[in-house]
Amino acid sequence: MTESKITLALELEDLIKRKFSSDETALKYLERIKLGNLTKKENPQSHFCTYFAPYDPKAKQVFIGHHKKAGIWLFNGGHVDEGETLRDTLNREIDEEWGLDMKDFDIKEPELLTFRDIYNPTKQPCLMHFDIWHFIPVDKNTFNPDRDKLAEEFHENRWVDLDKAGKLFLDDESSLKAIKFIGENLFD
């Protein structure tokens, strides 16, 4: 196993044991980590992804998009690539999807773990995603992602309240868990 693969596995194990040990999802994560091949390139069917979900705590809204490949409404996110840490993935994905620098945001450790079955054989080989969630507080009036970059992956993006997000996320249990987390932990 290469050093970068060991680094990602150790990073994930440490995070899960330290922060999510009482979470039943953590056990499934630890089992998956033991199998190795954690990235999409190494295992196209079952791999790790990270989400970075912008929310405005004052407006009590979240920024979501209708994803072209998945065909559903999602938060921004992406696959962990070979040789990356979680921070590396966030940095790359925030630049790719928003055209922004992650250093301009207050990004804390992941706060939620989810996994979900994927069935979209015409557009992607993925069968299972292990999603690691970061929630990013922003002011929706000054949050200014690059519209051209967003358009590469999303049909459209918008700010919505949690009720509207819940209606749009009906096909994605992981995103429903994310908005529940936001409502219970990040909105007053």
- Residue 179: CATH number of its domain: 3.90.79.10
Kindly provide the b/e burial profile for residues 123-149, where b requires at least 16 CB atoms within 10 angstroms of the residue's own CB.
Answer: eeebeebbbbbbbbebeeeebebeeeb
- Express each pLDDT in 61-82 by its tens digit: 999 999 998 889 999 999 999 9
- Express each pLDDT in 40-64 by its tens digit: 899 888 999 999 999 999 999 999 9
Q: What is the pTM of this model?
A: 0.93
Q: Rounded to the nearest 10 degrees, how much is the dihedral formed by the CA atoms of 16, 183, 48, 77?
A: -140
Angle 8-107-102 from CA coordinates, rounded to 5°: 85
Domain count, the chain: 1
Range(s) of the domain holding residue 181? 3-185
